[in-house]
Amino acid sequence: MAEIIQKDGTWAFDGDALRLTPGRDRNTGPLRAELGELVVPLGALAGVSFEQGRRAGRLRLRLRAGADPLLQATAGRLTDPQDPYQLTVESDRYGVAEYFAEEVRGALLLDSVSPGPVDEYLLPGPAVPLSASAGDGTASFDGERVLLEWNWKTEDAKAAGGPRTIPLTEISGVQWQPAAGLENGHLRFTVRGAPVTTPPKFDPHAVELWGFKKDPLMALVAAAVQARLPHPSAPADGTDLEPERVPLAKAAAAEDTHDALLRRLRELGELRRDGVLTEDEFAMAKQAVLKRM
């Protein structure tokens, strides 16, 4: 197992998944602290990098597009302190960080993990129920409905309608936008049959954000809802299959996967015979394939 322990957090890799535990450092953002430990399957990764700095370096994970509902909902707008896929590394641990990155890269290569996008979420998203308060309201989600409640700072035109309950079945999209410069941010839910025509400060389906410390926690609500919506890249194929054909389709897919794993085992054996893989590397890769079978 490869492991690196820093004030910023602890990352561990067992060949199949990465376990990311946030640190207790005062610079750890509230979103990372609230998320807690994350388990990222190897198949969700597109790559890993380590960047050295004069005083500190940074380990970065790059996830495959569409693998994580948090990244889908925030669309690359998370700052470094809030990003759970970054780890600050002290200069005396650069060697450990480089070794960690090489171990992950080697596993990605041995498992032939594609860096391309996926059409289903490979991480579950934040657990529910959850609630966050920031800006002009509180957003809560219990897995079936979103509840938006207003505070004394809410515009009268929006608060006049009272708390807003939005069933998940009526939500077609979710967006989290942090405040930037003089522009306020927002958490907005797109509701079927209700086109967006007003700014977030007047929109009863949005919470306006002003750039305060707790704003990133609204991203957790956005991610929890995103994880339970249809994946934006999910193929339409198979959705209209006749009921009796669905088990047959699943069986065919399972057979194709099994054949691919057998081919991978043969390829690994050839790489070992040719001296490309050591015995230890072959054993680790073989074990990973057998687990999938």
Q: What pLDDT shows up at residue 245?
A: 47
Neighbours of 31 (CB within 10 A): 26
Q: What pLDDT shows up at residue 254?
A: 47
Q: What pLDDT shows up at residue 266?
A: 72
Q: What pLDDT shows up at residue 293?
A: 56
Q: What pLDDT shows up at residue 261?
A: 64
Q: What pLDDT shows up at residue 197?
A: 85
Q: What pLDDT shows up at residue 246?
A: 43
Q: What pLDDT shows up at residue 114?
A: 92
Mean pLDDT by 10 residues, the chain (293 residues): 93 96 85 94 96 92 97 93 94 95 94 94 94 96 97 93 96 94 93 89 95 93 96 67 46 53 70 71 70 58
